[in-house]
A = this chain, B = another copy of it.
Amino acid sequence: MPETDGATGTTGGGYEPTARTVPSRSRERARYDRETVHSILDQAYVCHLGFVRDGAPVVLPTLYGRVGETLYVHGSTGSRPLLAAGQADPGLPVCLTVTHVDGLVLARSAFHHSINYRSVIVHGTAYQVTDEAERRMALDALVDHVVPGRSADSRPANAKELAATAVIRLDLNEVSAKLRTGGPNDEPEDMGLPYWSGVVPVAPVHGTPIPADDLAPGIATPDYLAAL
């Protein structure tokens, strides 16, 4: 982790905690260093993007990509949040959350049941990206987020596809990670209870790639899929 970060000018490599990014409980689980935040963001496939529409909250699952200290989300130019980000002035307030479930925590008491998890919550304002070079970079990042190295091994978007795609950006400024690890935290007086206690690990696993029905003969499964 660098001592200073050129992109934001903050020192120590971390995000500055704010009233919104300090949790109201379990503060010892919060993290603000970029390494932890980036790692959690880079390992998930979907984020949950929250915004306000007609005064009510909306939470949509969507793909995303990260380039340095910026997240990109894309969608049809007809999609509601992306339209809102383009129309809103000055931008669309959003909350973007990413969560990994790492384990089921079974305590002796019902009360102390929990899960081990890693999450990142980003508060900020999303803006539509209009610069053509940035839009192309963002779309590459979105594809490479799903499968690293894939954007270079597929047909790039053409003019028609680019015109049909809206891209919004959200800078990583007001950001926190939160995580729970380890075993159950039972009360001392519960230790003698006759209930099994421990953790069941959970992790996503990739299956064997399934070629498209109409895949032309002679096209081998690419090496970058083996690295997933």
Residues of B within 8 A of A38 (CB): none
Is A36's CB within 8 Å of the partner chain B?
Answer: no
Determine if A207 and B196 form an interchain contact, defined as CB atoms under 8 angstroms apart.
no
Mark contacts of A195-212 with chain B using CB atoms, 8 A cut-off: 1 yes-contact digit, 0 otherwise: 111111111111111111
Most chain B C-beta atoms within 10 Å of own C-beta, residue among A61, A96, A183: A61
Chain A interface secondary structure, helix, strand, loop or mixed?
mixed
Give Cα distance in the complex from A202 to B46, angstroms. 13
Residues of B within 8 A of A67 (CB): none
Determine if A48 and B51 form an interchain contact, defined as CB atoms under 8 angstroms apart.
no
Contact partner of A203 among B48, B52, B108, B205, CB < 8 A? Answer: B205
Q: Provided the pairs A147-B200, A207-B200 are in contact, do residues A108 and B57 lie with their beta carbons within 8 angstroms?
A: no
Residues of B within 8 A of A190 (CB): 155
Residues of B within 8 A of A192 (CB): 216
Give Cα distance in the complex from A115 to B65, angstroms. 14
Determine if A155 and B193 form an interchain contact, defined as CB atoms under 8 angstroms apart.
yes
Give Cα distance in the complex from A210 to B104, angstroms. 10
Most chain B C-beta atoms within 10 Å of own C-beta, residue among A59, A96, A215: A59
Most chain B C-beta atoms within 10 Å of own C-beta, residue among A60, A63, A183: A60
Determine if B109 and A213 form an interchain contact, defined as CB atoms under 8 angstroms apart.
no
Is A219's CB within 8 Å of the partner chain B?
Answer: yes
Is A184's CB within 8 Å of the partner chain B?
Answer: yes
- Nearest CB of B to A132, in Å: 15
Name the 7 nearest CB pairs between A and B, nearest first. Answer: A201-B207, A50-B59, A50-B57, A48-B48, A61-B99, A59-B97, A50-B50
